Structure 1
Amino acid sequence: MSAETVLMLAERDDREAVYVSDALARRGVGTTWFDTAWFPSQAGVSARLGRDGWYGEITTPEGAVRLETIRAVYYRQSQPFTFPACLSEPERRFATVEARFGFGGMFMSLRARWVSHPARLADAEYRPLQMATAARCGFRTPASLLTNHPGDAREFGRSGDGAVYKAIMHKLISEDDQVKLIYTTPVDPVTIDDRVATTLHLFQGNVPKTHDVRVVATRYGPVHAVAIHTVDPAARQDFRTGYDTLTYEITRVPADVTASCHAYLKTLGLELGVFDFSVTDDGTWWFLECGPGSQWAWLEAETGAPIADAIADTLIGAPV
């Protein structure tokens, strides 16, 4: 890719994107960054429509890039645009929508390899879709209930090894002027009341796991897995509650789980997936979720797992 470039469509200090950019540099592949927070104060675009699509130039604080030279895009979560403070709120909303759909449409029209395409990522964010796809692709999935009926929720909570509550999508909540994470929470059926009726809730059977595993898989390439261990009961329920208690080790992925990961990515049109599993005493891997934009860089830093290399090879179309 001599005169070509990989576009890092990410926040400039996004750790995952930095790791992938470094891996591409080791392969002699150039990268260009576009942080949406730069627009319009520090970045701009001028593009014209031709027979093969849009051509022109993007300017950023780090230089300029021709749209025609972009042959692959590594996409992470976009940041808010930075508009002048003098704009009114209606003007700001208008400018945001125009920029979002303008840049989104232009980038998605490029003849480029995406990891992964924003439209596919948007579909894959729907947790009920994730769970149904996982079941169809052969993963073991916990018993699950999606409901706003308090009676059904109480009955579900009394079955098996008990139940946990998980946020379907919005994992942050504002409380007392503070933003807090919503963790996986054990549910006592006695405490379930009529507030459940106000919206949809996701309840799952509580998996008596020994540890967690995060797997990073590309559609046609190898999978890399890191086992996450803790002796802290709260962190064992949800490891995000106790990062300082965690230990890590690279682990082997069973062949059937690897096959299901690849089938899942193919089904949802993703090039990359970050899968979370709970593993029980008998060695069963239980699918929890697949976060297309979930973090993995800290696991590479802790274990040396070559995750960034796998993603870099996917971006440049290296043979598997």
Structure 2
Amino acid sequence: MPSPHVLVLTGEDDPHADRVGALLAERGARVTVFDPGGFPVSWRVEVGYAADGRMTRLLRGGAEEIALDTVTALWWRRPSPPAPHPELTDPAVAAHAAKECQSLLSDLWEHLPCPQLPARESVWRRSGQKASQLALAAELGFAVPDTLITTDPESFFAFHERHDGRVITKTFHIPFIEGVGDGLTVTRLSEPVSPRDLAYADGLRFCPMIVQERVDKRLELRVTVVGRRIFAAEIHSQVSNRSAVDWRRYDTRVTPHRPHRLPDDVAARCLTLMERLGLTYGAIDLILTPEGRHVFLEVNPNAQWLWVEHLTGLPISEAICEHLLRGA
């Protein structure tokens, strides 16, 4: 029986992929790491359709040739998008070529005949929509924050007043904008609405925003799901002013992280949520309120976990390794 062959799609300097890749190699698996950002400069892709219906799918990089039909599991980590070939100097032509490269790869992965973690691209991209996640979570019985999604400044002001100014804002997608002004990167995580924000609320006309009531927290929960296994970690974000609104302003030196046992009904709800989203991996963010309610915030299908593993001892990397070995 051939050994497992795991194809990892990720960019450079990914310690999460390195950690799991080392575990896979220890167990005798073949691990291929492919960064789409190196296509078409460093890698070549070939797909063939024979008259008798046979297909060939090949990756070539340097002297290495990989028959993709030998892949037993595909792992979406943090792939970078294809970059245009540097010999293409016309911006429009370069952009067109990059889109063509992306279209080829997306179609290639979508129809690769092996299990994929967290899911096929079409599934995990759709599953990452925050508004749809909130609707599904509420349907499954999670408490969710009172939420407004709008481009109307007047609706925003009314929502702000209804909650006595205790509201936060968040983005739909990645919480940063690259290349602003002189190449700066502007980051906006979950933020409390300030008087200054109110003065600029007219800007909602140009871009939608998610606005939510600010939910009181006893602590926050990072619930990492791998297949049917749940790894819940407490993040005591309220002990630090830095992390109180959004724990992604990491203050791990003073913010305790501990393993957590979810109530059975909440754990079952988490598994059902992942199943309905079509995901075999993801991190669910919950608030545990002072009254003991579990309030759903969002699911990240490509979430990081090493810092949780390091601080709590939860064996998340081992679980991902085992899942990939079985076929994701």
TM-score between both structures, scaled by the size of structure 2: 0.88
Q: Is the 8 A contact 1:3 1:69 kept in 2?
A: no
Q: Which runs of 5+ in 1 are unaligned?
A: none
Task: List aligned pairs for 1:152-171, cutoff 5 A.
Answer: 152-160=155-163, 162-171=166-175
How far apart, in 2, do the equivalents of 1:299 and 1:242 lie? 12
Q: Which residue does the alignment assign to 2:103?
A: 101
Tell me the secondary structure at the aligned position of residue 65 of structure 2: strand
Q: Which residue does the alignment assign to 1:90?
A: 92
Matched, 1:187 2:193: yes
Q: Which residue does the alignment assign to 2:216?
A: 208
Over 3 Å counting, the alpha-carbon distance change for 1:232 and 1:24 in structure 2 is same
Range with greater deviation from structure 2 (60-69 or 86-95): 60-69
Give 1:191 deviation, angstroms. Answer: 2.3
Task: List aligned pairs for 1:138-157, cutoff 5 A.
Answer: 138-157=141-160
Over 3 Å counting, the alpha-carbon distance change for 1:99 and 1:280 in structure 2 is same
Give 1:158 deviation, angstroms. Answer: 2.6
Over 3 Å counting, the alpha-carbon distance change for 1:206 and 1:310 in structure 2 is same
Q: Which residue does the alignment assign to 2:55?
A: 54
One-letter amino acid of the counterpart of residue 64, structure 1: E
Q: Which residue does the alignment assign to 1:28?
A: 28
Tell me the secondary structure at the aligned position of residue 275 of structure 1: strand
Tell me the secondary structure at the aligned position of residue 162 of structure 2: coil
Q: Which residue does the alignment assign to 2:5?
A: 5
Q: Is the 8 A contact 1:226 1:248 kept in 2?
A: yes
Give 1:83 deviation, angstroms. Answer: 3.7
How far apart, in 2, do the equivalents of 1:310 and 1:282 lie? 32
Q: Which residue does the alignment assign to 2:270?
A: 261
How far apart, in 1, do the equivalents of 2:169 and 2:160 lie? 10
Matched, 1:239 2:243: no
How far apart, in 2, do the equivalents of 1:195 and 1:82 lie? 32
Tell me the secondary structure at the aligned position of residue 41 of structure 2: coil
Matched, 1:134 2:140: no
Q: Deviations over 1:34-69 (max 9, x none)?
A: 111222222112332256663243123583321120
Taking only aligned residues, the RMSD between alpha carbons, in angstroms, comes to 2.4
Range with greater deviation from structure 2 (271-280 or 241-250): 241-250
How far apart, in 2, do the equivalents of 1:54 and 1:304 lie? 44
Q: Is the 8 A contact 1:73 1:113 kept in 2?
A: yes
Q: Deviations over 1:81-137 (max 9, x none)?
A: 244322121221122122111122122211100012111111012111111111112
Which of residues 281, 288, 295 is equivalent to 2:290?
A: 281
Query: Percent of counterpart pairs with the same letter?
Result: 27
Give 1:257 deviation, angstroms. Answer: 1.9
TM-score between both structures, scaled by the size of structure 1: 0.90
How far apart, in 2, do the equivalents of 1:21 and 1:263 lie? 29
One-letter amino acid of the counterpart of residue 158, structure 1: E
Give 1:318 deviation, angstroms. Answer: 7.2
Q: Is the 8 A contact 2:170 2:190 kept in 1?
A: yes
Which of residues 289, 308, 319 is equivalent to 1:310?
A: 319
Q: Which residue does the alignment assign to 1:111?
A: 113
Q: Is the 8 A contact 2:144 2:295 kept in 1?
A: yes
Q: Is the 8 A contact 2:151 2:205 kept in 1?
A: yes
One-letter amino acid of the counterpart of residue 208, structure 1: D
Tell me the secondary structure at the aligned position of residue 259 of structure 2: strand
Over 3 Å counting, the alpha-carbon distance change for 1:42 and 1:149 in structure 2 is closer
How far apart, in 2, do the equivalents of 1:52 and 1:280 lie? 57
How far apart, in 2, do the equivalents of 1:40 and 1:200 lie? 35
